[in-house]
Structure 1
Amino acid sequence: MMKLSEDDIEKRLLQYPDWEYYENAIHAEFEFDNFKDCFSAMSRIAFECEALNHHPDWSNVYNVLNISISTHDADGVTAKDFKLAKAIDSIVVPEDEE
């Protein structure tokens, strides 16, 4: 998998408004109503990660989930990272879109 250029990453991010590029990865923070909802989303995301065989760096504190995605083998962001971000976005629907 080829590492994407910074320009290509920025163009692709236009389709992912919840994501930012910095420190050689794409990052997002999602806030939920409570811990249970956050953990439920994490469980659903985990199944997608396994299906794609691609795993994010993530952390959870109460109702907030922070996710960083990069392809370690490519030492940067690849199309594989955007595929996972798309899967995550399909699980984590912003409250105003529900």
Structure 2
Amino acid sequence: MMANVLLSNGFEAIKTAGLFIMLIYIAMLIMFGVHFLLLASQGLNPIKYAKKAFPVWLFAFSSRSSLGTLPMTTSTLQNKFGVNSAIANFVASIGTTTG
């Protein structure tokens, strides 16, 4: 498939796709930065937050399934962040369906 794209459109198509992917990763890093700034502005330690949330992030990024991470997300919210069970289930479900 890549060879077909390369032969029909030249290297420019691959270069454009690579640039697009790079820009997506840059946008994700910016959003992580904004998220961490919001946490810090509320008196929370972004490093501690990231350490607690990292297993869920890793699973979510590797599985590419929001619904598949729902049980792990609710468990982490309850056990590591101390969120009430009803709130954790509600928030995780809303976050899963709305992105």
Q: TM-score, normalised by structure 1?
A: 0.28
> Structure with the greater relative contact order (CA < 8 A, sep ≥ 6): 1 or 2?
1
Which entry has the higher C-alpha Rg, 1 or 2? 2
Decide which structure has greater strand share: 1
Q: TM-score, normalization: structure 2?
A: 0.28
User: Which structure shows the higher helix fraction?
Assistant: 2
